Chain A
């Protein structure tokens, strides 16, 4: 084998033996370090997966939603409003949507009621989101009653529970027929909550929004990309909140790791002196300690990252779930599709492995440049 490679092998052998000789210190350090990487990696993996999930789910939603505004507030779409839009080139389909919120005193939770066409949900039937079904113990063919805001009691039969795949967005959803929706909320005939427009060409979306704004000055077009961006911001913000809360703990771990890495014990200093006296160069000592720092930080990074991956994608990020998924009574339960972003791994790697290795090197360099004759005088 090449003498250079053989030398590196010797250095790694010696490093492993050194790590083994200071088991308690190194295992403690590895654990603290792994925990730090685990927390940070869990956060980034989870929020990244949530963002991907949101994009994935929103991919099927309409490109533009048109709301009517009165005095800066969202108001109902009046009759014939859809006709006023007329024909806009590029718009494939436009339909009035009916949806609203309902507060259920049983669960103290808000549900989203949404009307669907009669061929999807018949009168007297509802389809419910998975979280709602779980909390209220509902299954297909069960009946459930809701007291409307006007005080009347309405009873529906559950025709189906919505697929858990869409639970991030449909956790609290109740789908019912248009007739039932209008009766339940006493919604005026011909009025809609908003208008959904499908646009085939993504390049055209902004032009269409501009045309809508000029044709209907009292309206507000909401683009799907804006909704997506809002979701991204919400998850970014939540990630920030968790990071802020954890900042103290992260800092404590960082200080611990720094202190452990940068503080050389008298025994370690003595060993460096011996190695230099018996023929090791300053560079050999530094290389050996670099291997030591890299072995600890790489092991911690790999262990922490793998643990975070398992935590997020196999245990649904149990530790951070309540904060990161949102504040709600009906928590969505869904399986995240494992997605890992290379840039995120690189950033995490840079901010965890690099500072530690640097922290190890500074005191070693100071100890390694001392004259080797000190060992004769010990």
Chain B
């Protein structure tokens, strides 16, 4: 589904503080599976996920998504692909304070121009799946860490993407909540979604919900 060939990524290229985060990654990721990227801080996991998720472009190399080369597309097309095909769950959740859980969840669908009542119905359906219906009108800053993460997951699902990308999803959760997250992940694969996540939490990478673990260090792949 996703093929990466010789992906390299440099930050501050041509400047004294030039830094190469990825040194030629070749990888094929299967659809409908959960793939975990494991590695220490600074190994390039997050950078790789931003490239896969169309949040940034590689300095060199190709990214193919469903057979189509997307690495050279202009920003507008990348945004379209990102909105339709990828849902993100960020480490810090990145919810917008002052808005209710429901308003946060329907935000990614605003540029699509879908009617509000349709978005609200879809969001309520996701809230019910995630057992969060009773908190939909609460402002996100009033929610617990676990609830905030479920709101972030609901937001990732609102445009019904094929791929869910989660960056260190359990970093801010206790064991019980981490287990709960993993069971939500299993629900995703049951519905045919592809999940890519980064983690160095054994509870995640050793979980039965994860089909494949990709090791990374210093911007290179280590062992699967």
Residues of chain A touching chain B, judged by Cβ–Cβ distance below 8 Å, are: 1-7, 9-11, 13-14, 17, 20-21, 267, 270-271, 274-284, 371-373, 375-378
Chain B residues with Cβ under 8 A from A276's Cβ?
79
Among A20, A278, A282, A376, the residue within 8 A (CB) of B108 is A278
A11-B103 contact in complex given A371-B55, A371-B56, A376-B167, C-beta closer than 8 Å: no
Chain A residues with Cβ under 8 A from B111's Cβ?
7, 10, 279-281, 284
> Which residues of B (96-153) have their CB < 8 Å from a CB of A?
96-99, 103, 107-108, 110-116
Interface residues on B, range: 20 to 34
Count chain B CB atoms within 10 A of each CB in A5, A279, A280 and give the residue with the most.
A279
Chain B residues with Cβ under 8 A from A7's Cβ?
110-113
Closest to A369 in B: B75
The reply to whether B46 and A281 contact each other, CB–CB distance below 8 Å, is no
The reply to whether A373 and B55 contact each other, CB–CB distance below 8 Å, is yes
Chain B residues with Cβ under 8 A from A267's Cβ?
97
A279-B82 contact in complex given A17-B98, A372-B55, C-beta closer than 8 Å: yes
- B193 within 8 Å of A by Cβ? no
Q: How far is the CB of B18 from chain A (nearest CB, A)?
A: 17
> Which residues of B (71-91) have their CB < 8 Å from a CB of A?
75-76, 79, 82-83, 88, 90-91
Residue pairs across A and B with Cβ atoms less than 8 A apart, 9 shown, are: A10-B116, A11-B110, A14-B107, A278-B107, A278-B155, A280-B110, A281-B76, A376-B49, A376-B91
> Which residues of B (164-221) have their CB < 8 Å from a CB of A?
167
The reply to whether B99 and A3 contact each other, CB–CB distance below 8 Å, is no
The reply to whether B50 and A376 contact each other, CB–CB distance below 8 Å, is yes
- B159 within 8 Å of A by Cβ? yes
A17-B46 contact in complex given A275-B107, A278-B88, A372-B55, C-beta closer than 8 Å: no
The reply to whether A6 and B113 contact each other, CB–CB distance below 8 Å, is yes
Chain B residues with Cβ under 8 A from A279's Cβ?
79, 82-83, 108, 111, 159
A/B pair count, beta carbons within 8 Å: 88
The reply to whether B46 and A4 contact each other, CB–CB distance below 8 Å, is no
The reply to whether B112 and A282 contact each other, CB–CB distance below 8 Å, is no
Known pairs A6-B114, A372-B55. 7 more at Cβ < 8 A?
Answer: A2-B113, A3-B113, A10-B116, A17-B103, A21-B97, A21-B98, A280-B108
Chain B residues with Cβ under 8 A from A1's Cβ?
115
Closest to B83 in A: A279
Chain B residues with Cβ under 8 A from A281's Cβ?
75-76, 79, 111
Q: How far is the CB of A373 from chain B (nearest CB, A)?
A: 4
The reply to whether A10 and B56 contact each other, CB–CB distance below 8 Å, is no
Chain A residues with Cβ under 8 A from B96's Cβ?
271, 274
Q: How far is the CB of A2 from chain B (nearest CB, A)?
A: 8
Chain B residues with Cβ under 8 A from A277's Cβ?
55, 88, 90, 94
Q: How far is the CB of B74 from chain A (nearest CB, A)?
A: 11
- B92 within 8 Å of A by Cβ? yes
Chain A residues with Cβ under 8 A from B50's Cβ?
373, 376
Chain B residues with Cβ under 8 A from A20's Cβ?
98
Chain A residues with Cβ under 8 A from B46's Cβ?
376-377
User: How far, in angstroms, from A280 to B167 measured CA to CA in the complex?
Assistant: 20
A-B pairs, top 10 by smallest CB distance, nearest first, are A3-B113, A279-B83, A21-B98, A373-B50, A10-B110, A7-B113, A373-B55, A373-B56, A278-B108, A6-B113
Count chain B CB atoms within 10 A of each CB in A7, A267, A281, A376 and give the residue with the most.
A376
User: How far, in angstroms, from A378 to B98 measured CA to CA in the complex?
Assistant: 19
The reply to whether A3 and B114 contact each other, CB–CB distance below 8 Å, is yes
A378-B113 contact in complex given A21-B97, A278-B107, A372-B55, C-beta closer than 8 Å: no
Chain A residues with Cβ under 8 A from B99's Cβ?
17, 21
Q: How far is the CB of A338 from chain B (nearest CB, A)?
A: 42
The reply to whether A274 and B94 contact each other, CB–CB distance below 8 Å, is yes
Closest to A274 in B: B94
Chain A residues with Cβ under 8 A from B79's Cβ?
276, 279-281
Q: How far is the CB of A367 from chain B (nearest CB, A)?
A: 15
Closest to B110 in A: A10
Chain B residues with Cβ under 8 A from A280's Cβ?
79, 108, 110-111
Q: How far is the CB of A227 from chain B (nearest CB, A)?
A: 61
Q: How far is the CB of A272 from chain B (nearest CB, A)?
A: 11
